[in-house]
Structures are given as structure tokens and as C-alpha cells.
Chains A and B, each alone.
Chain A
Amino acid sequence: MASQFTCSVSVWQRDAVCLVEQILIQARPGQVDLLMDLRAALKSGGDWVRVMDLFLACRRELEQEHYLPFYRLRRLLGHWLALELRSEQDPEVRADLRRLLRWKFASFAQLTAALDRERFEHGRDAAVWSLVESPAA
């Protein structure tokens, strides 16, 4: 059988896709589209903000029914993606994505808005946030 993955897909992406497929098997019709979008985004990779947005949306809808696979997805994303910021005061800093994913943000924008508020409270300047693929130490 031909592989459903291209050679450029990393092992963690395949593991994440398998987890989404486990949820898909049990999903109700109205939940399938969002999961399929997440699956496609994980398979193609690269646009990690889109992956995060889809993950957070699926999580909001489905986590209570599928806690364990979402916990495993959260751990994979927290381990393999890094949240980087760049600002005039902080040229290169990373935020702890694993800790942040404990909280139920609705989107990547909401997650970074919370971090910006925290920076503002500590007198730091506005930052540009990005998600990159990079395993945690």
C-alpha cells in the first residue's frame, strides 16, 4: 500500500495524525470537517499557526469526549513546536508552549494576546510571535 505520507513528514507529525484519526473514528458527523482540516494541516506541516488554530478549535469542541488523545496531541505540539517572540527589548525569546497549552485558549491570537498583556504588565514592549518546529530540550 502506498504511504499516505510524503518523505518530508516527521515522525511526530505522523503520530499526531494518527491521534486525530483515532478521534475521527468516533466523531459525530458535525465534528468531522474540523478534524479533517486539522489532519490535513498536520500532514502538510509548515503553517504551524494554522495547525494551532485548528487544534484549539477541535479541542474546544471535542476535548471532554476525547480527553486522552487531546492530552497526547497537546504534549506532542508542546514538545515539537516552539513559541518565539521578537521585539526591540527582547530580540529572541521563547515562551513555554507546554505550560500555555494547559489553558484553553480559543485561538493562537488569543494565546498571544494573553502573553502580550503579561508583557505589558511587566513593562515590556509589543512582540511579534511565531510558531516554529523545534523539539523542546
Chain B
Amino acid sequence: MTTATLSSSKTSAVITGLQQLLADSYALMGQTHLAHWNVEGPAFFELHAAFQKHYEELFEAIDDIAERIRALDALSPGGLKTLGKMSPIEEMPAETAPAKDFVAHLIEGHEQVVASATKLREAAGAANDLETQDLAIGRIQVHQKTLWMLKSYLKNL
């Protein structure tokens, strides 16, 4: 079975969705890397290692997202400034903060990525672009799993 020919407006919505997902994922990667460097406290070793796994996973995913944009015959945006302007994910200042603040900040970042991946999933579904939809679903699964782990860390039992 082949993917049906996409209408140009629906393809445009898919490309826009991919670009947003790319920007949000890139911003989240940067914030995760910052947390990896700056987190302090009794949980330093586990959080430092966990954040490294997260940003390494995001680095691979970002490449897949950008190459999907290229596969749809559009150019991918790139660069810190450009992608930073596109994403609503805020930057944490380089200041001492409780470890739980780093975790909470990243939870909000992952939630933003889930939101943009969900929009992309819907746009891809409307355009009958099953391949992009599959990519979006995969990203939602990864980020939802990370959210479960980060939220579990914040529980005070």
C-alpha cells in the first residue's frame, strides 16, 4: 500500500508541524544538556546520567525529524537562534537551583514537545501521510515515557 498523493495545503501543514517539532526538540535538548551540566545535590549522579541519556536520544531524533522534512522536499530550519525563536520552551538561567527545579523545568519542556508532536500526528493523519504520523507517534511515546520517569522523581513518598 502506498501513501496517497498529498494535497499541497495538507503537506504544508505537515511540514510546518515537523518544523515546530524540530524546534521544540532542539530547545529541549539544549535545556536537558544545561541540566546535565548544572544540576547539583544528593541526586547528582543519577540525574546527571539520566539527562545525558535524554539529550543523546534527542540528538538522534532531531536528525530524523529534519531528514523527514527533506524527504518531503522542503528545507529544514536550523541553528540555535532560528530554532530558539521558533520554540516557546524557555531557557533556564545559569544559576544555582534545586535539582527538583531542573526536573520540573524539563517536565514542562517534554510536555511542549508532546503537544507539538500531537498536532503533527493530527496534521499527518489529515494528509494521509502515514510515515510522518508514525514518526510523530514514536516521539509521543518517547516523551510520555520520559515524563512518567521525571514526574516519579518529584513524588515525595
Contact = CB atoms under 8 A, between A and B. Distances in A.
Interface of B: 93, 95, 97-98, 100-101, 104-105, 107-108, 151, 154, 156
B156 A67 contact: yes
Contacts of A71: 100-101, 104-105
A101 B151 CA distance: 21
Contacts of A89: none
B107 A68 contact: yes
Contacts, number: 22
User: Interface size bucket, A side?
Assistant: under 10
Contacts of B95: 99, 102
5 contacts: A65-B156, A68-B107, A71-B104, A72-B104, A99-B93
Interface of A: 64-65, 67-68, 71-72, 99, 102
Contacts of A68: 104, 107, 151, 154
Contacts of A65: 156
